[in-house]
Amino acid sequence: MFAIAPAMGKANLSASQLKLLSGKARWIFRVGEAGFPTVPTIALTRAAWEALQHERLQRDVRLRTHWIACLFKLVGKDETPPLLVVRTSAATHNGGLMSAKMGIAAPTNAEDAVDPTRALAKAIKNAFDSYGFGQGWTGRADEDRGKQIVLVQSVAEGEIEQFLTRNATTGALGPAPLNGAPLPRFPESVDALVSLLDAKAGRHMCCTVAIRKGQVLFLSARPSQVTAAADLEAAVDRVTRKVWTAQNAVSRVDPTRLTQLLHPRLKSKDGVTPIAMGLGVSPGAASGVIVFNAEDAARMRARGKHCILVVNETGPADIEGMKAATGILTARGGMTSHAGVIARITGKPCVASVRTMSVDASEMVCRIGDREFRMGDRLTIDGSDGSVYLGTLPLAQPHIGGAIGKLLGWSDASRTISVRTNAETVDSAMTALSFGAEGIGLARSEHMFFSTERMVALRRMILSEDEEDRSRAVNGLVDFQTGDYSNLFSAMKGLPVTVRLFDPPLHEFLPRSDEDIEETAASLGLAVRALRLRLERLAEFNPMLGHRGVRLAITYPEILQMQMQAIMAGARAASETQNEPVSVEVMVPFVSTASEVAWVRERVYAIAANSGLLRSERVKFAFGTMIELPRACLRAGEIASMVDFFSFGTNDLTQTTFGISRDDAPTFLTAYQRKGVYERDPFVSIDEKGVGEMIQIAIERGRAANPKLKIGICGEHAGDPASLKFFSGLGVDYVSCSPYRVPVARLTLAQTSA
The secondary structure element, H or E, covering residue 192 is helix 189-201
Q: Which is nearer to a copy of itself, 5 or 695 (CB)?
A: 695
In the complex, minimum distance from the CB of residue 634 to a copy of itself, in angstroms, rounded to a whole number: 5
Q: Which is nearer to a copy of itself, 110 or 533 (CB)?
A: 533
Spatial distance between the Cα atoms of 141 and 138, rounded to a whole number of angstroms: 7
CA angle 451, 541, 349 (to 5 degrees): 40
- Tell whether residue 630 is a contact of a copy of itself (CB under 8 A): yes
Kindly report the length of the chain: 754
The piece of 85-93, 258-266, 487-495, 539-547 that touches a copy of itself (CB under 8 A) is 539-547
Q: Which is nearer to a copy of itself, 483 or 690 (CB)?
A: 690
CA dihedral 420, 426, 430, 435 (to 10 degrees): -30
Residues 592-611 that bind a copy of itself (CB under 8 A): 592-593, 595-596, 599
- Tell whether residue 563 is a contact of a copy of itself (CB under 8 A): no
In the complex, minimum distance from the CB of residue 660 to a copy of itself, in angstroms, rounded to a whole number: 6
In the complex, minimum distance from the CB of residue 631 to a copy of itself, in angstroms, rounded to a whole number: 4
In the complex, minimum distance from the CB of residue 405 to a copy of itself, in angstroms, rounded to a whole number: 41
Looking at residue 739, its amino acid is: P
The only residue of 192, 545, 622, 642 in contact with a copy of itself, by rule CB under 8 A:
545
- Tell whether residue 137 is a contact of a copy of itself (CB under 8 A): no
CA 508 to chain centre: 29
Which of 734, 688, 692, 685 lies closest to 714, judged by CA? 734
CA angle 338, 342, 345 (to 5 degrees): 150
Catalytic residue among 70, 207, 307, 338: 338
Spatial distance between the Cα atoms of 41 and 221, rounded to a whole number of angstroms: 13
Binding mask 350-369 for a copy of itself (x = CB under 8 A): -----x--x-----------
Looking at residue 205, its amino acid is: M
Looking at residue 500, its amino acid is: R
CB burial of residue 465 (10 Å; 0-12, 13-18, 19+)? exposed
In the complex, minimum distance from the CB of residue 226 to a copy of itself, in angstroms, rounded to a whole number: 37
Catalytic residue among 70, 207, 633, 714: 714
- Interface with a copy of itself (CB under 8 A), residue total 57
Spatial distance between the Cα atoms of 329 and 212, rounded to a whole number of angstroms: 57
- Tell whether residue 34 is a contact of a copy of itself (CB under 8 A): no
In angstroms, what CA-CA distances link 640 with 440, 467, 609, 727? 21, 38, 21, 19
Residues 313-352 that bind a copy of itself (CB under 8 A): 332-333, 337
In the complex, minimum distance from the CB of residue 547 to a copy of itself, in angstroms, rounded to a whole number: 5
342-373 burial code (b ≥16 CB/10 A, e <16)? bbbbbbbbbbbbbeebebeeeebbbebeeeeb
- Tell whether residue 45 is a contact of a copy of itself (CB under 8 A): no
Q: Which is nearer to a copy of itself, 338 or 572 (CB)?
A: 338
Does the annotation mark 714 as catalytic? yes
In the complex, minimum distance from the CB of residue 507 to a copy of itself, in angstroms, rounded to a whole number: 10
Does the annotation mark 54 as catalytic? no
Spatial distance between the Cα atoms of 716 and 737, rounded to a whole number of angstroms: 6
Q: Which is nearer to a copy of itself, 228 or 461 (CB)?
A: 461
Q: Which is nearer to a copy of itself, 187 or 630 (CB)?
A: 630
Binding mask 655-694 for a copy of itself (x = CB under 8 A): xxxxxxx-xx--xx--xx--xxxx--------x-xxx-xx
In the complex, minimum distance from the CB of residue 689 to a copy of itself, in angstroms, rounded to a whole number: 7
What do you get for the CA distance between the two ends of the chain, in Å? 39
Which of 86, 226, 92 lies closest to 147, judged by CA? 92
Q: Which is nearer to a copy of itself, 456 or 538 (CB)?
A: 538
- Tell whether residue 547 is a contact of a copy of itself (CB under 8 A): yes
Those residues with Cβ within 8 angstroms of residue 192's Cβ, 6 or more apart along the chain or in another chain = 36
In the complex, minimum distance from the CB of residue 716 to a copy of itself, in angstroms, rounded to a whole number: 17
CB atoms within 10 A of CB 222: 17
The only residue of 68, 199, 607, 634 in contact with a copy of itself, by rule CB under 8 A:
634
Q: Which is nearer to a copy of itself, 332 or 746 (CB)?
A: 332
In the complex, minimum distance from the CB of residue 548 to a copy of itself, in angstroms, rounded to a whole number: 9
CB burial of residue 309 (10 Å; 0-12, 13-18, 19+)? buried
- Tell whether residue 701 is a contact of a copy of itself (CB under 8 A): no
Per DSSP, 271 falls in state T
- Tell whether residue 131 is a contact of a copy of itself (CB under 8 A): no
Q: Which is nearer to a copy of itself, 172 or 677 (CB)?
A: 677
667-684 burial code (b ≥16 CB/10 A, e <16)? eebeeeeeeeeeeebbbe
Pairing of strands 395-396, 440-444: unpaired
Ramachandran assignment for 134, one of left (phi > 0), alpha (psi -120 to 50 degrees), beta (any other) = left
Q: Which is nearer to a copy of itself, 614 or 677 (CB)?
A: 677
464 touches 524 (CB < 8 A) = yes
- Tell whether residue 526 is a contact of a copy of itself (CB under 8 A): no
In the complex, minimum distance from the CB of residue 597 to a copy of itself, in angstroms, rounded to a whole number: 10
Which of 180, 181, 161, 234 lies closest to 204, judged by CA? 234
- Tell whether residue 555 is a contact of a copy of itself (CB under 8 A): yes
The only residue of 141, 172, 533, 614 in contact with a copy of itself, by rule CB under 8 A:
533
- Tell whether residue 705 is a contact of a copy of itself (CB under 8 A): no
- Tell whether residue 502 is a contact of a copy of itself (CB under 8 A): no
The only residue of 96, 541, 579, 707 in contact with a copy of itself, by rule CB under 8 A:
541
* Active-site residue list: 338, 714
Binding interface with a copy of itself (CB under 8 A): 312, 332-333, 337, 355, 358, 533, 536-538, 540-547, 551, 554-555, 590, 592-593, 595-596, 599, 628-631, 634-635, 652, 655-661, 663-664, 667-668, 671-672, 675-678, 687, 689-691, 693-694
